[in-house]
Amino acid sequence: MSKKEQVEKHEFQTEVRELLQLMIHSLYSNPEIFVRELISNAADALDKVRFESISNPDLLKDNSELRIDVQVDEDKKQVVIEDTGIGMNHQDLMENLGTIARSGTKHFLKNLSGDAKKDVNLIGQFGVGFYSVFMVAAKVEVITRKAGESEAWAWTSEGTGEFSISSTEKDGRGTRIVVHLKDDDDSKEFASSWRVRSIIQKYSEFVTHPIYLETIEKPEEKSAEEDKKDDDVVDVPAGPERLNEKPALWRRNPNEVEAEQYQEFYSNVSGDYSGSPAATYSHSHIEGINEYWSLIYVPSKAPFGIFHSDRSHGLKLYVKRVFIMDDCKDLLPPWLRFVRGVIDSEDLPLNVSREILQNNRIINNIKNHVTKKTLESLQSLADDKPEEYAEFWKELGSILKEGFHMNWEWLDELKSLLRFNSTVVGTDKLTSLKDYVSRMRDEQKDIYYITGENLTTLEASPHLEAFKAKGFEVLYMADPIDEFMMGGLQDFEGKSFKDISRGDIALEKTAEEEASEKESQNEYSELCAALQKALDEDIETVRVTTRLKDSACVLTNKEDAMSAHMERLMTQMGQNNMPKSKRILEINPNHAINKKLLEKVKAKEDLGDWPTVLMGQALLAEGSPLPNPGLYVQAVTKLLS
């Protein structure tokens, strides 16, 4: 046989056929990955020849364009990926394709150092990406010719543990990979140009080198007579289509990018084409031990389904411009899951299939950087455009509040971003904690707040009466997350937070007020005892209070007890077996009802339905459900009649 006809048969040098089968069937979770891997290998080959041509210009003497061509033949069920890169000779094929997990890219990088290594943008590192093709391929042919050499070679394998190498013919340098798809439904779907186009645009849209797609159209069905006339006609490929014309915006200098370009890219990266712009964004490039780019956006409108904590995150992860994964949870804390954007790393370690991040210091550095940049962007928005920040807060503030749970690193930044309605700014405007503290009375020691179902209920709460009378501002917390947030929000600028529905609120009383309260407590001791006896099942104690001005009574909790609002929330979440704490009933000694009841007690008269009515009023005023609405209605009816 002539040299051109000689075919060498080899077994993979690992000598473990099971290993190849494991890689084909278990390493990758999605068959479409094979397109990404082959495109990435082609891009590496182009980078290699471009780099080596610096010292050896003859490698590019044929003047062929550095490009990647993809061809889909739907009739033959073939996918062809060809590049004009460095190519391979016989030795390269044996070492790179004949040995599983030996990366030509990794070997190439080992021979570089210093700036030379930094200047080369190579993707492959494990030497197993090529074998992903056997998830869908019945046979793979690799026709390749190394730059600067005249001889071409063909490598062929069916992925069963053997491969063959033979000499062949090929015009020009580079590598052409012909994928013969298996005859099953899962594999045949890749014989669709639409399917291959979507994969390339998903994973390789921002690869530096141009990628062209060409489709071999199926011949039209013709009559026998027409078929005879067209015997000499062959399938004509449609014109090649450039698939990656968009530049990687995040890799550009921020000074060269217009605001309109940022907002246009936001629509693409977020999938939000409603016309709503991003509230703010941050674009940065970090160099040093690790190098990466970040372009992150904060939406102005809440993304669909974002209020579920297990909802997908919004960051897209790229490594050297190649898309790796959507919804990358490892690069952002859950309380910033509304952030959209791109992270592109030069040296981020992945697992061997490039589908799972390896948890290490680089990931933590990127996560800290992205978190810091997001919080800085939000703070700038709050400082420079408070009205726009207020709109953002109404949309997504409740998610940001989740950051106070099991997080001690970013609490100061989050505290500055908090916004609340209050007794001073009302329910239409918002206040920051900084502004609240600036308005505190000289004698005020704590930051006061109240939680409840909604703003309407809070505005009418009897708990506020004394605070309003003294001019003490109270923050409204009507968001369900607020109760959980307060577990991590203990203080601000040295001021502690005080729930006005819990404990004995001192309200910075004067000596006269304290003396008056003590006198009233003694005067109403018999009434308190009578009410305590009537309501003993639900009430721990009854006492006189100065916190009320217009209402007859109010329910409070012990300092260390769960608030009534939290109890309602837990019940709504199905936690019905939690023991309920007994409440404290506080009565207003200056209210006409209590004065009348005191007269009844002193006259040894029965209080009748009044304890039930007082308890019901207190429950309704705080937004709690009545345990027995019918009994309450009967009691009110008797008193009215």
Query: Phi then psi for 101, rounded to 5 degrees?
Result: 70, 25
Q: Specify the amino acid at residue 267.
A: S
Burial class (CB in 10 A: 0-12, 13-18, 19+), 53: middle
Going from the C-alpha of 67 to that of each of 84, 93, 212, the distances in angstroms are 6, 21, 8
Nearest-angstrom CA–CA distance, 186 and 128:
21
Beta strands at 174-181 and 78-83: parallel, antiparallel or unpaired: antiparallel
CATH architecture label of 249-389 = 2-Layer Sandwich (3.30)
Q: What is the pLDDT of residue 217?
A: 66
The SS3 of residue 530 is: helix
Give Cα 200 distance to the centre of its chain. Answer: 24
Give me the pLDDT at residue 236, please.
Answer: 45
Q: Quick one: CATH architecture of 3-221+235-242?
A: 2-Layer Sandwich (3.30)
Q: Which two tokens stand for residue 555?
A: 């329910």
Domain chopping of the chain, boundaries: 3-221+235-242, 249-389, 418-499, 517-558+567-640
Contact 529, 507 (CB under 8 A): no
Q: What is the largest CA-CA distance in the chain?
A: 127
pLDDT for residue 607:
93
Beta carbons of 293 and 284 less than 8 angstroms apart: yes
Q: Point out which residues pair with 142 in neighbouring strands.
A: 155, 177
d(CA 90, CA 111): 20
Closest CA to 524 of 555, 561, 483, 553: 553
Which pLDDT value is given to residue 347? 75
Asked if 552 contacts 591 with a C-beta cutoff of 8 angstroms, the reply is yes
Distance CA 156, CA 165 (A): 7
Taking 50 as the pLDDT cut, the residues of the chain under it are 1-3, 13-16, 101-110, 112, 115-127, 233-234, 236-237, 351-356
pLDDT tens per residue across span 336-356: 999 999 999 887 765 444 444
Task: For 517-558+567-640, give the CATH class.
Answer: mainly alpha
Cβ atoms 539, 585 nearer than 8 A = yes
Partnered with residue 27 across adjacent β-strands are none
Residue 113's contacts (CB-CB under 8 Å, 6 or more residues apart) are none
Strand partners, 167: 153
C-beta separation of 130 from 142 below 8 A: no
List the one residue out of 611, 589, 456 whose CA is nearest residue 533: 611
Q: Which of 540, 556, 545 is nearest to 618 (CA)?
A: 556
Q: What is the 3-state secondary structure (H, E, C) of 545-601?
A: CCCCCCCCEEEEECCCCCCHHHHHHHHHCCCCCCCCCCEEEEECCCCHHHHHHHHHH
Give the pLDDT of residue 574: 65
Structure letter (DSSP) for residue 350 = B
- The pLDDT, as a whole number, for residue 108 is 37
Residue 541's identity, in one-letter code, is: T
How high is the pLDDT of residue 123?
40
- The full DSSP string for 402-437 is GGGSS--SSHHHHHHH--EEETTTEEEEEE-HHHHH
Beta bridge pairs of residue 176 = 82, 143
CATH 2.60.40.10 fits 418-499, yes or no: no
123 within 8 A of 105, measured Cβ to Cβ: yes
